[in-house]
Amino acid sequence: MNKRLDKVRWWEYLGFGGVFMAVLCLCVCVGSVNIPLSETVTVISNALLRQPQPEGLAPAIILTVRLPRVLCVALTGAALSLAGAAMQGLLKNPLADGSTLGVSSGAALGAVIAIAFGLNFSAVPFAGTMIMAILFALGSLLIILGLAYKLDYSLATNTIILIGVIYSMFVSSAMSVIVTFAADKVQQITFWTMGSLQGSSYENAAVLAAVLLVCGGVLLASAQELNAFAVGEDNARHIGVNVRRTKLVVLITVSVLIGVCVSIGGTIAFVGLVTPHMVRMIVGPNHRRLLPSSLFGGAVFLLLADLVARILLNPQELPIGVVTSLVGAVVFVFIFYNTRKGQ
Amino acid sequence: MADMLDVQKLSVRLGNLDIVKDLSFTVAEGDWLMIVGPNGAGKSTALSAITQGVDYTGRVLFEGEDVAKMKPVRRAQCMGVLTQSHFVGYAFTVEEVVRLGRYAYAPGLLSNRSDDDDEAVEEALALTGMAAQRKQSVLTLSGGELQRTFLAQVFAQQPRLLLLDEPTNHLDLVYQKQVFSLIERWLQKPGRAVVSVVHDLSLVKAFGTAAVLLRHGQTVATGAIDEVLTAKNLNPVYNMDVAAWMRQMLSQWAADDNTADNIIEEKIC
């Protein structure tokens, strides 16, 4: 039997890859101190080849400040966008993203508790904020799925969305209560809940890359099932999709992605919601193309947002979540308006 | 002929309410069994239970194999389902939706597409007349075209048993006739059978080979069409003289009967 893989549009990925690399270079070069592209390339290649670095501040700025940050931003954007695209397919709801489930808020609560009460795990290499955020993300998922399962054995998407929204509200109230007990850390908490990847390290980037590799693989392998869900949950069951198993796999994978992203960069809104929309306009709704393209789309979107956050009020820096929300809201209204007009 | 589907004492209970109670029937190859009854009789729930959409007690056997214990892909290879309405979330093309019907033959990681899949999809598109619109977004289709798209998906799935839940409920006469004719043609190949929930008793008489009449979840009659659709069975279930009502409706068309037929034939051609 002559078998072949579903058509892959290589030119799309070449285009996305090209744009991604261009934006990545731009974000490493541009900042409070602009560094020419040629010098940036020299510094990075010297670092990779373990050659001596040129004189001046450029190597320190690029290698210890910008590169780890830009890598974290790109990976976080890719992860959030992928999670959003998967959730929008699974729940057949274009307004869904990682935060719809409530896991994002849960992770934020964990991190806020860690900051407010100064929790630190000295035995582990990463800060208490990260561990608490991941633990709370998984705990939130268990609570949400447990409640949804109790109410509705089939885990209907409407039940999941409703419980996610209610859970998010509950968690934001809990965060407000905690903030009142930790008045001295309000500024730190506020900045963090708005999202920021300032001070990201190579270790953060390595964690993000590892998680994205595993979770991304799982989600990409579920592309066909997500297509079926995007057409309709009952239809998915009728064509042979194991509906409950697919839901559990996708929800757990998305929760891990969100938990890790929130633990490193805080709650960054709108990336998971807007980017899949934009990418869907280019490559269509088929998840075999949409999911990999969303990785590039999310990375580019968040890199540009981070660049704006860094240079707009230079030397002051805006929280990245503020930029994504501002830009995302406008872009979303624009897309929504055009889509409706088109129909 | 051996039974393809064997439903034994199927009951569905929601809270304290018996939606379907002790429903039993068999379907043999070549049969088109119609499940009929007034609104709230439990017809769609019974079909949903057979397709494992709701919890039930009793047994549903496909060629002797318990459907509840089948893996989802195996079940999809045996039974295809067409519901009355579809709300697709995104702008998938007609071909993408039809191709999903092949999921049961290539599920999971890095699933490949075979020539068999391509053949089945092409055949389904041609049979339903949707080949010309294969690249069109399903969001731009009319109700009838959308239903034909999903019928093509079910055909591409190549099941042996087709389960239809009021497949032409909101379609106009032309599409009603098209869809029923397509299913009738599909049924002509050996080793196939159809079970459908249908409201229109004229369609039941025209296309069905057997029927189950339900009322408040209870089976009133089961057997060949002529044995089930009798005045004795129907009138108490619908609380009216069904045959008289049908005749009265049809009598209005007596004068220009030919004209109506011609219009329908013309549209289909």
Q: pLDDT band at A99, cuts 50/70/90?
A: confident
pLDDT tens-digit readout, B64-76 = 999 999 999 999 9
> What pLDDT is recorded for position A183?
80
A52–chain B nearest CA distance, Å? 45
CATH code at position B192: 3.40.50.300
Q: What DSSP designation does A62 have? A: I
> Is residue B171 over pLDDT 80?
no
Q: How far is B102 from chain A (nearest CA, A)?
A: 8
pLDDT for B254 beyond 80: no
Write down the pLDDT at residue B111.
55
- Residue A87 CB contacts under 8 Å (≥ 6 apart), including other chains: A93, A96, A97, A98, A100, A101, A250, A254, A272
Residues of chain B with Cβ-Cβ distance to A1 below 8 Å are 114-116
Q: What would the pLDDT profile of B23-45 be if each residue is shown by its tens digit?
A: 999 999 999 999 999 988 899 99
In this prediction, does ipTM exceed 0.95?
no
pLDDT of residue A2: 36
Kindly state the percentage of chain B with pLDDT values over 70.
90
pLDDT tier for residue B159 given thresholds of 50, 70 and 90: very high
| pLDDT, tens digit (0-9, with 9 covering 90-100), for A330-343 | 877 877 777 666 55
Structure-model confidence comparison of residues B211 and A333, the more confident one: B211
Task: Please compute the mean of the pLDDT values over residues B143-148 and round it to a whole number.
Answer: 88
Q: How far apart are CA A110 and CA A114, in angstroms?
A: 6
Whether the CB of B135 is below 8 Å from some CB of chain A: the reply is no
Beta-carbon count within 10 A of B218 CB: 15
- CB distance from B77 to chain A under 8 Å? yes
**Cis ω for the linkage preceding A315 (within 30 of 0):** yes
Banded model confidence at residue A4, pLDDT cuts 50, 70, 90: very low
Instruction: Report yes or no: A243 at the B interface, CB cutoff 8 Å.
Output: yes
With a cut of 80, say whether residue A101 has pLDDT above it.
no
* Structure confidence at residue B20 (pLDDT): 92
Sign of CA dihedral A155, A159, A165, A166: negative
A240, B92: Cβ pair inside 8 Å? no
Nearest CA in chain B to A339: B91
**pLDDT value at residue A342:** 55
Q: Do residues A52 and A332 lie in contact, with contact meaning Cβ atoms separated by under 8 Å?
A: no
From A93, which residue of chain B is nearest by alpha-carbon distance? B89
The pLDDT mean for chain B works out to 87
Tokens of A102: 């409530």
Which residues constitute the domain of residue B40? 3-239
Chain A, residues 91-110, CB within 8 A of chain B, namely 92-94
Residue with tokens 């064509």: A239
How far apart are the CA of B174 and the nearest CA of chain A, in angstroms? 25
CA separation for the pair B18, B11 (Å, rounded)? 7
Q: Is A287 on the interface with B (CB under 8 A)?
A: no
Nearest to B35 by CA among B5, B13, B78: B5
Residue B250 lies in a domain: no
Among the partner-chain residues B90, B115, B157, the one whose CB lies closest to the CB of A239 is: B157
Residue A253 — pLDDT band, cuts 50, 70, 90? very high
Region A118-144: mean pLDDT is 76
B45 and A CB contact within 8 Å = no
pLDDT classification of B269: cutoffs 50, 70, 90: very low
pLDDT reported for residue A60: 85
Taking an 8 Å cut-off on Cβ atoms, the answer to whether B51 and A284 are in contact is: no
**Does the structure show a pLDDT above 70 at B169?**
yes
Contact B51 A237 (CB under 8 A): yes
* Structure confidence by residue, pLDDT tens digits, B231-246: 999 898 888 888 888 8
> Are A343 and B101 within 8 A, CB to CB?
no
pLDDT in tens, A141-173: 888 888 887 877 666 677 877 888 889 899 989
Q: What is the mean pLDDT of chain A?
A: 85
Residue A341 has what pLDDT? 64
**Which chain A residue has the Cα nearest residue B73?**
A240
Strand partners, B219: B214
Per-residue pLDDT tens for B13-28? 988 888 999 999 999 9
pLDDT: which is higher, B151 or A314: B151
Do A239 and B100 count as a contact with CB atoms less than 8 A apart? yes
Confidence at residue A32, expressed as pLDDT on a 0 to 100 scale: 80
- Number of domains comprising chain B: 1
Which positions 43-62 of A are in contact with B (Cβ < 8 Å)?
none
The percentage of chain A sitting over the pLDDT mark of 90, rounded to a whole number, equals 31
> Are the Cβ atoms of A3 and B112 closer than 8 angstroms?
yes
Instruction: Tell if the CB–CB gap between A153 and B91 is shorter than 8 Å.
Output: no
Query: A-B interface: how many C-beta pairs under 8 angstroms?
Result: 94
Summarize the confidence of residues B150-159 as an average pLDDT. Answer: 94
Mean pLDDT value across residues B120-146: 91
Whether B84 contacts chain A with CB within 8 A: no
Q: Which of B99, B223, B215, B238 is nearest to B155 (CA)?
A: B99
Q: Is A239 on the interface with B (CB under 8 A)?
A: yes
For A231, the closest of B76, B97, B114 (CB atoms) is B97
Query: In the block, which residue shows the tokens 């318990």?
Result: B66
Question: Would the pLDDT of A37 be above 90?
Answer: no
Contact A3/B at CB under 8 A: yes
Does the pLDDT value for residue A139 go beyond 50?
yes
Position B191 in a domain = yes
**CB–CB of B75 and A240 under 8 A?**
yes
Q: Which CATH class is domain A84-265?
A: mainly alpha
CB B100 to CB A230 under 8 A?
A: no
Q: For residue B72, list chain A residues with Cβ-Cβ distance below 8 A.
A: 237, 240-243
pLDDT score at B85? 79
Q: Please report the pLDDT score of residue B108 as a whole number.
A: 57
Q: Is residue B230 part of a domain?
A: yes
Q: How far is B232 from chain A (nearest CA, A)?
A: 37
pLDDT for B259 equals 52
Query: What are the angstrom distances between the C-alpha of B70 and each of A5, A273, B55, B64?
Result: 28, 37, 15, 12
